[in-house]
Amino acid sequence: MRSSPPERSEIGFRTTHFISRYSAIPWCARVFGYAHIPQRHAARFNTFCVEYLDPLLNFHRPCLFATEVPDPKKPGRIKRVYRPADAMTPLDKLASLPEAARCLRQDITLEHLQQLARALTDVQAAEELNEARAALFRRIPASA
């Protein structure tokens, strides 16, 4: 027996759930667009990500982290609640963990990462990202 196709509302829920669950994925599309990137330019894009995009996302862009609370309507279930107080950068979240230093490589400390974060304001980091992106796309022809 074949099952019936999902209703439109279910499809919409699945799509929005997937997008919200993997919200880091659209950043590449927002920064680079949807066009194919030829392999000969991959090193430039990788350098851009390491030097500009990753620091912006990890040090300057806040994310919502869930607080897990027991669901009063369904005993035994845990509900994820997103509170305004839970908005912090990934670095702040890492620093709030009890054994955060153990999660880092031996040559990197939390103090060093926090110094990198304090070196630029959020606006300065975003402006640097936009300037570097413009310079990257000036070096790569549109029909490459």
Q: Looking at residue 139, what is its pLDDT?
A: 87
**Integer CA distances (angstroms), 130 to 7, 12, 23, 26, 104, in order:** 41, 32, 20, 16, 29
Closest to 58 in 3D by CA, of 135, 130, 116:
116
**Contacts of residue 53, Cβ cutoff 8 Å, sequence gap at least 6:** 27, 31, 129
pLDDT at 5: 52
Neighbours of 9 (CB within 10 A): 8
Alpha-carbon span 12 to 97, nearest angstrom: 35
In the chain, what are the domain boundaries? 35-139
The count of other CB atoms within 10 Å of the CB of residue 48 is 19
pLDDT in tens, the chain (144 residues): 555 555 444 333 333 344 444 454 566 677 777 777 888 888 898 899 889 988 998 899 998 889 999 998 888 899 999 998 889 999 999 899 888 888 888 888 899 999 999 999 999 999 999 999 999 988 887 665
- What does the alpha-carbon distance between residue 121 and residue 98 come to, in Å, rounded to a whole number? 26
- What is the pLDDT at residue 118? 94
